[in-house]
Structure 1
Amino acid sequence: MLKEVRYKNWKSFADSTLYIDPLTILIGTNASGKSNALDGLAFLNRVVQGKDLQTILSGDPALLLEANIQAIRGGVEWASRRPFTSFTLEAVIEYNEEIDYHYSIEVSTKSESDVEIVSESLIKINRKTNKPNKTKIFTATAEEDSPTIAASVYNGGRPKKKLFKRSVSVISQLKNQETREEVDEAVQFVTHTLEHIFILDPAPALMRDYKPFSSRLASNASNVAGVLAALPEEEKSHIESLLSKYVSRLPEGDLQRVWAEPVGRFQKDAMLYCEEQWPGSSEKLIVDARGMSDGTLRFIGILTALLTRPKGSLIVIEEIDNGLHPSRAGILLEMLNEIGTERQIDILMTTHNPALLDELGVEMIPFIIVAHRSTDHGASKLTLLENIQALPKLLAGGSIGKLVAGGEIEETLTQQGSGK
């Protein structure tokens, strides 16, 4: 599992760390850095897949259309915090109770056409002893103006030097190299973990059409119908029963069942359907996705991701409550906790919704992170809510939702940063 990500001169961050738990809530005002933190996760996800660095940041229309991904917001120009011309992203990944892996990549962004690796490394950390023991898997540092980067791969004994392209991550190129078992295991595990970061932003307007069968949910959940219809019959029945179970618990109480059906001559396209039955009525009405509300479709998109993504995934949902009525906050959190725990899926979400924050309760305070701006240099910072010195006093005056709505948390952090 991914435990933490450190941002150094990445976009609006100077140096800050995002800690990831089974359910992590990221809050903060507009322009505080929340989206920039999520963009860092998207970068790590794509860089270990072997995508070209410039393409990751600026995009390639043909590639983006096929892969259903977007360029990183701001492109190359805003990837590094001004006035710097490089950024570093680091990730700590838990292998088991005793072993972590530390992955780091520094990227130069001197010009739009000159995006390349400065340094990259992967280190194994054994926490079994009082003083963690660090073992290098590989380290790589490039010489200025060189088109290649020299990597030292620790295959036992003296490290072997290998040359790699600077436009693509070393770790992705190592996946196809013959190395000793410890190196191969580390590279495969870290890439597998980061590849399973899934940035989800359901777009109801795109979920209403007929969709071809698909084996993987799109980041905008537009192909929900195609994903459900393509599942093996037994798995399809199980997942649709779970979808129906949670949807039927929504406050409206009219949605009884959700499913997808193949349509068309070749039965390779699908449509999403739901069955409505209003309280007090014996009549059942079947509605397809074109007649469903935005909130219902977004809810189904989130549910489908939780139920179909591989175990061990990290699902990232920006503005999770967007389009959802405040009355759905409780069932949404219950769903995230239940399914996330059962399927071993971590969830990182951002929200502004006071109702959702109030549903969290004080027991979730250790897992709430506040994005805010430094009073010294304006850079974004990530602060654990429980580390705010005046938190007990703040909570005595109101709930978390009330404090966020009134801007009191950000005001307190400003005072704390200025020493008042």
Structure 2
Amino acid sequence: MLKQLILENWKSFRYAELPLDPLTVVIGTNASGKSNMVEALEFLQRIGRGENIEAALAGDKTLSSIRGGVEWAALKPETKFTLNVLVNGKYTKADYLYTITVETKPHTQLLDESLTLIKHSLNKNEEPYIEKLFQTDNPSSNTPNITVHLYDTNIIKSQEFRRNRSILSQLIGLSMKMVEAINVVSQSLENIFILESIPSKIQNYSPLSDKLESDGSNIAGVLAALTEERKNEVELTLSHYIKYLPERDIKKVWAEPVGRLNTDAMLYCEEEWKPGEMRLIEAKIMSDGTLSFLAILTALLTQPEGSQIVIEEIDNRLHPSRAELLVRILREIGQKRKIDILLTTHNPALLDALGPEIVPFVIVAHRDSETGESKLTLLEDIDNFSKLFASYSLGDMTTKGAIERSLSRNE
């Protein structure tokens, strides 16, 4: 699972560190850099599964472009960016530091990439054991290939790889130690899931599928394609939580195949409009809030365990009175399924529902008033945070602009 993301010359960031915990909350005003931060994780997810580096930024027939494409990927006037991600080891009880540097001009290609094993001693006073697993050579930017040094059981092997994809996605047939490292890091990147639900797309029929789309459009297809036992389990959980959302009582939510070939599916729910009167409702006429809520729930229940789920503006289309319910669901399902959640929000009701215990895991995205560069600051690292917290709730801090004023005075 991911432990930390470090951004260097990425979009609006000169340098920033984002710690990642089981539940991490990023707050900040519009244009503060929240979406740019999320897009760094999206880029890592794409190159982790082997996508072409240029396509991972600019999009292609199957991928949408990351905002700004190649042109705005690096902080201007820079022509390269670096992303570092710290990943928790699965078996070795160690961490892996994965680093990738991409050139955007004059070519869009890999410039540098490495993977390092970090083992921490039980004795806190001892320095961690650090071992390089692979490292690219410093190549000429005009060559299509790049040399990679593989450090395998004290033997250095050098091998040529293509520069249009990440080395991580090209490495195969290595020693057990290297296989474990590659698998753990690759899986952690592939299991990043960015949810930006679009209710109007969820309302349509969707093909059966084993992979949820980032816009939630194929919720019905994913649910209908589950094995019978798993489908019953997921739909019972959906029905359990969704009944607390609307004014009318939703008794049941499910999906089922439709059409002669049973290759598409539709999402349904059963509502009690008044005592004793039940109505069957298709997704086509469900509210946007209900569909957004179902998208969040479905992602939490169907993504692989160990995933990093990212939800931008999680409270969109949800009434503030449901904030406490949403927070409870995130915590319950996230903990049960070992899923880490990163969310961004402006909603003061949601922030207050998170409670004071969330404070160590709240990060503020903001812009430097002199340079215009985005920064990430832990909420409790703000100089006068104790005074702020004594005067305001977390929600009030955001609505009254107290956090931004404090950051501005600190610059």
Q: Normalized against structure 2, the TM-score is what?
A: 0.97
**1:6 maps to 2:6:** yes
- Work out the CA distance in 1 between the residues paired with 2:89 and 2:175: 18
How far off is 1:26 after superposition? Answer: 0.6
For 1:109-168, what per-residue CA distance to the aligned partner results, in whole angstroms no more than 9, with x for missing partners? 114xx1111111000000025210101110003322222111100112331011111111
Equivalent residue letter for 1:161:
S
In structure 2, what is the equivalent of residue 369 of structure 1? 363
**1:289 maps to 2:286:** no
- Work out the CA distance in 2 between the residues paired with 1:15 and 1:34: 14
Equivalent residue letter for 1:269:
D
SS in 2 for 1:234: helix
> Is the contact between residue 251 and residue 327 of structure 1 (CA under 8 Å) also seen in structure 2?
no
RMSD, matched Cα: 1.2
**1:264 maps to 2:263:** no
Paired residues for 1:19-98 under 5 Å: 19-60=19-60, 62-64=61-63, 70-96=64-90, 98=93
**1:116 maps to 2:80:** no
**1:276 maps to 2:271:** yes
Equivalent residue letter for 1:306:
L
For 1:213-259, what per-residue CA distance to the aligned partner results, in whole angstroms no more than 9, with x for missing partners? 11111110100111111111111111100000000122525211111
Equivalent residue letter for 2:315:
D
Equivalent residue letter for 1:63:
T
For 1:327-383, what per-residue CA distance to the aligned partner results, in whole angstroms no more than 9, with x for missing partners? 110110000000000000000000001111111111110011000012342211100
SS in 1 for 2:269: strand
- Work out the CA distance in 1 between the residues paired with 2:12 and 2:138: 25
In structure 2, what is the equivalent of residue 173 of structure 1? 170
Equivalent residue letter for 2:24:
T
For 1:164-206, what per-residue CA distance to the aligned partner results, in whole angstroms no more than 9, with x for missing partners? 11111111111x3x21111111111100111000001111000
**1:202 maps to 2:201:** no
Equivalent residue letter for 1:154:
Y
**Mean CA deviation greater in 116-125 or 395-404:** 395-404
Paired residues for 1:308-323 under 5 Å: 308-323=302-317
Which residues of structure 1 form unaligned runs of 5+? 65-69
How far off is 1:399 after superposition? Answer: 1.0
- Work out the CA distance in 1 between the residues paired with 2:160 and 2:356: 52
- Work out the CA distance in 2 between the residues paired with 1:55 and 1:409: 38
> Is the contact between residue 248 and residue 255 of structure 1 (CA under 8 Å) also seen in structure 2?
yes
For 1:67-121, what per-residue CA distance to the aligned partner results, in whole angstroms no more than 9, with x for missing partners? xxx211111110000111100000000115840000000111114xx11111110
How far off is 1:386 after superposition? Answer: 1.0
SS in 2 for 1:172: coil
- Work out the CA distance in 2 between the residues paired with 1:16 and 1:266: 51
- Work out the CA distance in 2 between the residues paired with 1:235 and 1:160: 45
- Work out the CA distance in 1 between the residues paired with 2:231 and 2:179: 35
Q: Alignment partner for residue 409 of structure 1, among 395, 399, 403? A: 403
In structure 2, what is the equivalent of residue 230 of structure 1? 225
SS in 1 for 2:364: strand
In structure 2, what is the equivalent of residue 135 of structure 1? 131
**Mean CA deviation greater in 91-100 or 71-80:** 91-100
Q: Normalized against structure 1, the TM-score is what?
A: 0.95
SS in 2 for 1:106: strand
SS in 2 for 1:277: strand
Equivalent residue letter for 1:139:
Q
SS in 2 for 1:324: coil
In structure 2, what is the equivalent of residue 350 of structure 1? 344
> Is the contact between residue 206 and residue 218 of structure 2 (CA under 8 Å) also seen in structure 1?
yes
> Is the contact between residue 226 and residue 270 of structure 1 (CA under 8 Å) also seen in structure 2?
yes
**Mean CA deviation greater in 149-158 or 219-228:** 149-158
- Work out the CA distance in 2 between the residues paired with 1:301 and 1:18: 25
In structure 2, what is the equivalent of residue 164 of structure 1? 161
**1:378 maps to 2:379:** no
Equivalent residue letter for 1:325:
H
> Is the contact between residue 150 and residue 163 of structure 1 (CA under 8 Å) also seen in structure 2?
yes
- Work out the CA distance in 2 between the residues paired with 1:157 and 1:273: 59
> Is the contact between residue 251 and residue 328 of structure 1 (CA under 8 Å) also seen in structure 2?
no
- Work out the CA distance in 1 between the residues paired with 2:6 and 2:137: 19
Equivalent residue letter for 1:218:
E
**1:148 maps to 2:155:** no
- Work out the CA distance in 1 between the residues paired with 2:314 and 2:409: 29
- Work out the CA distance in 2 between the residues paired with 1:256 and 1:413: 47
How far off is 1:282 after superposition? Answer: 1.1
SS in 2 for 1:63: coil
Runs of at least 4 residues of structure 1 off by over 6 A?
none
Equivalent residue letter for 1:9:
N
In structure 2, what is the equivalent of residue 67 of structure 1? none
In structure 2, what is the equivalent of residue 399 of structure 1? 393
* Number of residue pairs the alignment of both structures matches: 406
- Work out the CA distance in 1 between the residues paired with 2:13 and 2:396: 27
**Mean CA deviation greater in 97-106 or 81-90:** 97-106
Q: Alignment partner for residue 255 of structure 1, among 242, 250, 274? A: 250
SS in 2 for 1:150: strand
How far off is 1:34 after superposition? Answer: 0.3
**Mean CA deviation greater in 95-104 or 295-304:** 95-104
Equivalent residue letter for 2:101:
E
